[in-house]
Structure 1
Amino acid sequence: MSSNAIEDKPKNAAFRVGLGDITPNNLGQLKRLNTVLFPVVYAPSFYKEVLEIGEFAKIIYFNDVCVGAVCCRKEDADGSTSLQNLYIATLGVLAPYRRLGLGSKMLMHILENAEQTSSNESKIAKVYLHVQSNNEEALEFYKKHGFEVAEKCENYYPNFEVSDAFKLEKVLTA
């Protein structure tokens, strides 16, 4: 685990969970995770951006094993330079490690940092993402964390068997 990892050891638990920065040294782990977790091949430019986004890209470790990651990007909100949106491009946990709170830990880290964007940066107005329309587990997960369906995007994933997606968003009040 990186020296700048955020680590929790739950009471009476025999495991450790930590969030670590994505660095050039562990970028290969992120690439392998994404290959397993998502049916999309991400371009080298995606990984270059991930290295520059700071707190909005993290790897999660379970007992020092890399088991998941979250990667976001900032976008101008409706042509505004003072407001930005945060797009969650990827958030995933390997199947054997799901339902342990790891995805929630990553999402809460992202939301807390989005709400605490410093005054010298553009304020983040909302956080959003796309979820394949048949992915009920993901829909339930994000709704549990206050995201709402903003729209249905037909043929969002044109090369997938289920091509439709839902755009989910959470408007930040801070």
Structure 2
Amino acid sequence: MTTANSTPTDNAQQNSKYFRKALNDLTPNNIGQLKEVNKVLLGDELGQAVYDDALKVGDFAKLALFNDIIVGGIITAKSTVAEAKKNKVEIVSLAVLPAYQKLGLGTMLLDHIINTSETQLAGSEIHVRIPTKDTAAVSFFTKRGFAASGDPKSDTQMFVRTI
């Protein structure tokens, strides 16, 4: 039930159990929508090559839907570290539009990548680079088992989770 003095975000948080949240595959037909979400949140820092590669990684790139509307997504890059004989999954982009944050969509996206890595790439590591000043992102990944790696005084820091 909507009240006159509540904001749409407040209503979404209070009533999120009545809404449909889902993940969907990234395809050539919907990648443009993910580009727009990323443009809003990240600017134009991701190049076309990132999106071209995202179409090739299968389950390692997903869209977040809220009531069948694309509101976020995750893009990863997979590689093999030959000397360590490990697979590496790097999160290139994890974005959810501000009005849909705090509803569990980011967690759904990240959990999907963790579960897929466990199933398909046992013994792998998941890496994500986070601006050190983004305390919300640092907290989000730390709560999900990621540990800081590298120089904590730099502008960005790598966080790693071993699967």
TM-score by length of 2: 0.84
Partner of 1:15: 19
One-letter code aligned to 2:146: F
Partner of 2:118: 115
Work out whether residues 77 and 125 of structure 1, in 8 Å CA contact, stay in contact via their aligned partners in 2.
Answer: no
Partner of 1:169: 160
For the residues of structure 1 that align with 2:104 and 2:151, how far apart are their CA atoms?
A: 27
Partner of 1:148: 147
Aligned counterpart in structure 2 of residue 72 of structure 1, from 55, 61, 76: 76
Partner of 2:53: 49
User: Where in structure 1 do 4 or more consecutive aligned residues deviate above 3 Å?
Assistant: none
Write the deviation string for residues 70-106 of structure 1: whole angstroms up to 9, x where unpaired.
00011122545x5211000000111111111110010
Partner of 1:132: 131
For the residues of structure 2 that align with 1:18 and 1:85, how far apart are their CA atoms?
A: 26
Partner of 2:6: none
Work out whether residues 86 and 124 of structure 1, in 8 Å CA contact, stay in contact via their aligned partners in 2.
Answer: no
Report how far residue 152 of structure 1 moved: 2.6
Q: How many residues align?
A: 149
Report how far residue 41 of structure 1 moved: 2.2
In the alignment, structure 1 segments of 5+ residues that lack a partner are 1-11, 156-163
More helix by percentage: 2
For the residues of structure 2 that align with 1:126 and 1:25, how far apart are their CA atoms?
A: 30
Work out whether residues 76 and 83 of structure 1, in 8 Å CA contact, stay in contact via their aligned partners in 2.
Answer: yes
Work out whether residues 86 and 125 of structure 2, in 8 Å CA contact, stay in contact via their aligned partners in 1.
Answer: no
Which secondary structure does the structure 2 equivalent of 1:152 belong to? coil
Report how far residue 151 of structure 1 moved: 1.4
Partner of 2:7: none
For the residues of structure 2 that align with 1:49 and 1:153, how far apart are their CA atoms?
A: 30
Higher relative contact order by CA 8 Å / sep ≥ 6: 1 or 2? 2
Partner of 1:97: 100
Range that drifts further, 16-25 or 32-41: 32-41
Which secondary structure does the structure 2 equivalent of 1:25 belong to? coil
In the alignment, structure 2 segments of 5+ residues that lack a partner are 1-15
RMSD: 2.0
Work out whether residues 26 and 55 of structure 2, in 8 Å CA contact, stay in contact via their aligned partners in 1.
Answer: yes
One-letter code aligned to 2:115: E
Partner of 2:87: 84
Which secondary structure does the structure 2 equivalent of 1:47 belong to? helix
Work out whether residues 147 and 160 of structure 2, in 8 Å CA contact, stay in contact via their aligned partners in 1.
Answer: yes
